Amino acid sequence: MSRRGGPIRWAIGRGLLGAATLVCLLAVGCGDPAPRAKATLWREADALFHADPRWIGGDGAYSVELGNDRVLWLFGDSFIATTPEHRRAHSKMVRNSVALQTGRDPSSAFMQFYYPQKNADPQSFAPEEGGSWFWPMHGVRLDDILLLFYERLNSPAGDPTGFETNASRAFWVPNPDDDVSEWQLLPASTPPPPLHDITFGEAAVVRGDELYLYGTRGDRHAVYLARVSVPEARARNLGNMKFWDGSGYSANPEPVLDFGAPEFSLHYDARLDKWVMVQTEGYGASTLAWRVADAPEGPFTDPGDLLRPPESFEPDAFVYAGKAHPELHGADLVATYVPSSFGDRPSYEDEKRLYYPHFVRVTYR
């Protein structure tokens, strides 16, 4: 989360929740090594995130296939410029925003950003509820409706600059083919406590007649898996989901990974015939990494390195939010990460590259 006033640390987003993750990942293996792959920066595609001069940075960067060459992007804390200088010092940070990409190749696609405005004042796309706000997770198009998943947070007592998760929330959009400015966000049913502390929706994948939902729990970000039928999900009823319990699906969730990441993507890759998880491994100066599995329940391989981002070699590095975007073209797999910094306010030049998603091309070997 950003810190306003005094020395500003540009370490924004859920990456701060993972201080223990590096130790866990180094100490515990999961199985076989991940396949080898080659990844390179895709600088030409990064211009996509600079298409709106008022949208001057955001994290999260989850993507959702909408059909008809349309891809929805979901961002967390986002800076919206409020003066013609387009500087973050003169901006408003909204808790979440979205963008619609038209075209599959990000190096040639068109992007339009959306953030509601009230009396010319930028607002969050998913509005706050009292003292709570929403950071995005993943989403999925189910025929004529769109399901979007968010993590609900609030500031802990006595620490207005901190944040803690208090629930997850699912919304459904009944009109996803309309202009995004006309979308309705309506609540969908979710499992009752005590399972609310698993933030399901970090990844949403349809295979056959089932919707698989991945989520995390705890400081070590253990990864859990739930399953619900597509007809139930289309009826906006997620309350009857069943959880992987180690041998089948029941009401008793067991993790598919004991140590995961606070943010990741997961999808089925037909070319590899594998389930692919992409994340940033470590904390601070991290590495873009991936795991694969033969089944949605795992077992997953140990994380394998894809790319050490150049920003991870800089002082006060904070690189996080690694994810894949299988609906995009231009490589065997397209991924992104977000670089930030634990240092003070960045320079004008650094503002143009820090706290924006950066594209990566992955080539299978």
Q: How many whole angstroms separate alpha carbon 140 and alpha carbon 149?
A: 9
Greater pLDDT, 189 or 215: 215
Q: How many whole angstroms separate alpha carbon 268 and alpha carbon 333?
A: 12
The reported pLDDT for the residue numbered 348 is 79
Q: Is the dihedral of CA 33, 306, 280, 105 positive or negative?
A: negative
Tell me the average pLDDT across 125-144: 95
In sequence order, which residues have a C-beta less than 8 Å from that of residue 325 and are 6 or more positions away?
63, 71, 265, 334, 335, 336
Tell me the average pLDDT across 313-339: 97
Peptide bond into 299 cis (omega under 30): yes
The reported pLDDT for the residue numbered 25 is 38
320 three-state secondary structure:
strand
pLDDT at 21 over 60: no
The reported pLDDT for the residue numbered 108 is 98
Q: How many whole angstroms separate alpha carbon 301 and alpha carbon 36?
A: 12
The reported pLDDT for the residue numbered 192 is 61
Distance of CA 37 to the CA centre of its chain: 22
Listing DSSP states for 92-116 in one string gives: EEES-EEEEEESS-TTT-EEEEE--
Per-residue pLDDT tens over the stretch 249-295: 999 999 999 999 999 999 999 999 999 999 999 999 999 999 999 99
CB 331 within 8 A of CB 362: yes
The reported pLDDT for the residue numbered 34 is 84
Confidence of residue 12 (pLDDT cuts 50, 70, 90): very low
Going by C-alpha positions, the residue among 126, 128, 129 that lies closest to residue 114 is 126
Greater pLDDT, 256 or 237: 256
In the numeric block, the tokens 């075209």 are attached to 103
Per-residue pLDDT tens over the stretch 99-117: 999 999 999 999 999 999 9
Per-residue pLDDT tens over the stretch 40-98: 999 999 999 999 999 999 999 999 999 999 999 999 999 999 999 999 999 999 999 99
Tell me the average pLDDT across 144-167: 82
Burial string for 286-309 (b: 16+ CB within 10 Å, else e) reads bbbbbbbbeebbbebbebbebbbb
Greater pLDDT, 4 or 53: 53
CATH architecture of 14-47+127-364: 5 Propeller (2.115)
25 three-state secondary structure:
helix
At position 154, the amino acid (one-letter code) is N
Going by C-alpha positions, the residue among 97, 104, 166, 105 that lies closest to residue 131 is 166
